[in-house]
Amino acid sequence: MSASEPTTDLDARYSSAIHPRPGAENATPTPWPEAQRHLAEAEIFWVSTVRPDGRLHVTPVLAAWYDGVLYFSTGPEEQKARNLARDAHCALTTGRNSLTEGLDLIVEGKAVQVTDAAKVEEVIAAYEGKYGAHITSPEGTFHGMSDAFRTGRAVVFAVEPDTAYGFGREDGLFTHTRWTF
């Protein structure tokens, strides 16, 4: 779990007031608590991993920001799981896909497989709290994740940020914030 607050830097090369509204302030870095709020609220993330031949593999996933860590699950034979078994480095990306407003976020880190059953249950609760009961099976488990976890049909990964980036747009201001942990 991420216990430390990150160092926050604004990259002035990519942060500016382009056609600001009258009275708009100069660009300032996005505060980490605001980024965390966006991570907690985002519905879809794109996980990027590296294939054995060096090509990227990018695929959408559901993820839960819980206790300073991003969690996602997959089948052990899926491409992303195979890639992470060989190279744990990955990035999870989410955002608004709007040119004029919003905050796009990238979290870089190493994906660590969660093997503790109690932690998996906490993650399932975080998913249900975020996505609602519709995400669970009739048995009350995350698409059968508890059973799938116990039988090896699903793996859960935790990505604690090493570095995160935020690309913000609001009121004619463009910001590029880097958080280093």
pLDDT in tens, 118-147: 999 899 889 888 987 655 555 544 555 555
Residue 114 token pair: 């969660």
Q: What confidence score (pLDDT) does residue 150 get?
A: 59
Closest CA to 165 of 111, 113, 109, 126: 109
Residue appearing with tokens 């100069």 = 26
What SS3 state is found at 114?
strand
pLDDT at 17: 57
**Digit-coded pLDDT (tens) for 150-178:** 566 788 999 999 999 999 998 778 999 99
Residue 141, pLDDT score:
47
Q: Are 127 and 98 in contact (CB under 8 A)?
A: no
* Cβ 159 vs Cβ 69: under 8 Å: yes
Q: How many CB atoms lie within 10 A of CB 109?
A: 21
Q: Class assignment of domain 28-180? A: mainly beta
In angstroms, the CA 79 to CA 100 distance is 34
Across the chain, mean pLDDT equals: 87
* Residue bearing tokens 């488990």: 141
Q: Is residue 109 pLDDT above 90, yes or no?
A: yes
Q: What is the pLDDT of residue 171?
A: 77
pLDDT tens, position by position, 13-71: 888 755 555 544 578 899 999 999 999 999 999 999 999 999 999 999 999 999 999 99
Tell which residue, 42, 95, 100, 98, has the closest CA to residue 71: 42
The residue ranges of every structural domain in the chain are 28-180
- The pTM is what? 0.87
| CA–CA separation, 39 and 37 (whole Å) | 5
Of 50, 44, 48, 68, the C-alpha closest to 59 is 48
